[in-house]
Amino acid sequence: MATAMTGRGMAFIRSISGELQSRLQVLGAGPLQLSCLHTSTSLESKHWERNNKKMFPPQKPDEPRRPAEVYHSRRQIKYSKDKMWYLAKMIRGMSIDQAIAQLQFNDKKGAKIMKEVLEEAQEMAVKNHNVEYKSNLYVAESNSGKGRYLKRIRYHGRGGFGIMDKVNCHYFVKLVEGPPPKVEERTSFDQAKEYVEYLKSRTIVHSL
Amino acid sequence: MATPMRRTLVALHRATCSSLMNAEASLDLRHPLPLYLPVRTKKRYFIPPAVGMKGMKDANIEERARKAGGAHRQQYFERPINIASTSGVFDPYIPPEGDARLSSLSKEGLKQRAEQIKQSAGSQLAIRKIKEHDPQFSTKSFAEQAQEIFIEAHTALTQFNKEKLHSLLTERCYPEMTRGNRYKTISWRFLESLEPPKVVHARCPDMISKGNLYGQVTVRMHSKQTLAIYDRFGRLMMGSEEQPKDVLEYLVIERHLINPYGRWRLHGKIVPSWAPAKDPIIKTVLIPGPDLKPGEEFEALNHQVPKPEAVQWSK
């Protein structure tokens, strides 16, 4: 994305953001009071992959079987995060076979990469995470995130310039064992009916 | 398109100025004309950092060291290693077939006992060598000591106590026991010993140099144990908590005899070729079928799943 601004404006904004960041770091030193601030995230922490190391205690034989979860991601894909989001939103909730089929015949560049990621995740699930049937998985979460951008100069007319971002994105996917959950379809008629029932159920409280 | 137009405008401006200048060269009343007008580029207030930085990284360390005054010595990527265990089981004990099933009164049992006595000649030499370095060694007490080491090692494995495991297992045995177990929960119990443990075999190999002696002793154990392995999500993968199993095992215990601080540690297990197949795991596993050419079909009747060979191997 090329932003056409003067150099001085850029420096000003950068200084402001630097001050804000330092102030946030100072404020985030008290973890007990300010639990909403993220204190330990840095640019190198790969949080999504760490979810794969989470251990659960052994289950007793009468408990329902806990479904296996596999987290996988790919970093620094040379694609835009907004364009990737469309594909990620498409496959949310699909079974893994359906997702791979849809991505195989999609014309976008990100579809090929996403298909590779899903196949890697499926293989990981069967090999390392004790998943019995490789088709018995569905896409529970699928997201795209901004990667580290490279900055270049885009030359404009009259000696103007813009900073061009070479975009990269990350792609995150979580596969869960089991059949995909059925989404209840609510038609407009159902919604209208519910609204009318709500209107009918109104009463006057604390009346005489 | 804009830049050429601008250039021509400035050129025209210059031309008019210069014509005016020539006309009124004698009078120095007006403002001095700048000689050079930067038309093409404006000052870049932002230069991306990566431009022009290629090839700088190699020179950095040496330059910094020179500037600081100290000489940059070449780094040697070597480290001294102490070898405290052998890499395998030397001259392994071959357990006779039907070991736990035949009694010594039958004909086959007598044959087995005869074979055992023949094998034990080498073991007697080895035991004598071990007694030179460790005078308190005796086969009777050692067998019980070996069983204790075994039980302690496996309880440490269930709790995954790394320091204790390293002190009870040799360096060769540790990765074999703990591979793939990091994200699994193992619950193991030793119920009772069905027969008293017995020392059946001993060898004293030396590694690399002649005097570097290691003692390897094989102990035969028959016991009842329960084993249940749970995966990362707490689901049962193999075995069961309540069902005990009778286990006949041949443990190899090793010690670095030269080292005065050496300890007897579990080195491995010998799995005989006639050992019964283990229980299958709970989940179904996909065995890849034969590679088919485009026209062929898969014939399920003629296809046989390849079975592993019955060979003795040491675990």
Give me the interface pTM, i.e. the ipTM: 0.71
Determine the average pLDDT of the residues in B89-99: 80
Check CB contact of A150 with chain B, cutoff 8 Å. yes
Check CB contact of A157 with chain B, cutoff 8 Å. yes
**pLDDT beyond 70 at B269:** yes
| Model-wide pTM > 0.90 | no
Phi, psi dihedral angles at B292 (to 5 degrees): -105, 145
List C-alpha distances in Å: B93 to A205, B265, B277. Answer: 89, 18, 20
What's the mean per-residue pLDDT of chain B? 79
pLDDT for B45: 75
Tell me whether residues A157 and B232 touch, CB distance under 8 A.
no
Least trusted range by pLDDT, from A154-168, B20-34, B73-87, B211-225: B20-34
Check CB contact of A1 with chain B, cutoff 8 Å. no
**pLDDT beyond 50 at B48:** yes
Q: Which span out of A29-38, B101-110, B305-314 was modeled with the highest average pLDDT?
A: B305-314
Higher pLDDT, B99 or B105: B99
Check CB contact of A127 with chain B, cutoff 8 Å. no
**pLDDT beyond 60 at A155:** yes
Task: Write out chain A residues lying below 8 Å of B231, CB-based.
Answer: 68, 129-130
Least trusted range by pLDDT, from A41-55, B33-47, B119-133: B33-47
pLDDT for A43: 75
| DSSP code of residue A201 | T
Q: For B95-144, give the DSSP string.
A: PPTTTTTS-TTSHHHHHHHHHHHHHHHHHHHHHHHHHHH-TT--HHHHHH
Higher pLDDT, B122 or B255: B255
Q: What is the dihedral of CA A32, A36, A39, A41, to 10 degrees?
A: 150
pLDDT for A2: 45
**pLDDT beyond 60 at A56:** yes
Q: Note the pLDDT tens digit of each residue in A161-182.
A: 999 999 999 999 999 999 999 9
pLDDT band at B54 (very low <50, low <70, confident <90, very high): low
Using DSSP's 3-state secondary structure scheme, residue A154 falls into: strand
Tokens of residue A139, six digits: 């896409």
User: Residue B240: closest CA among chain A residues belongs to which residue?
Assistant: A61
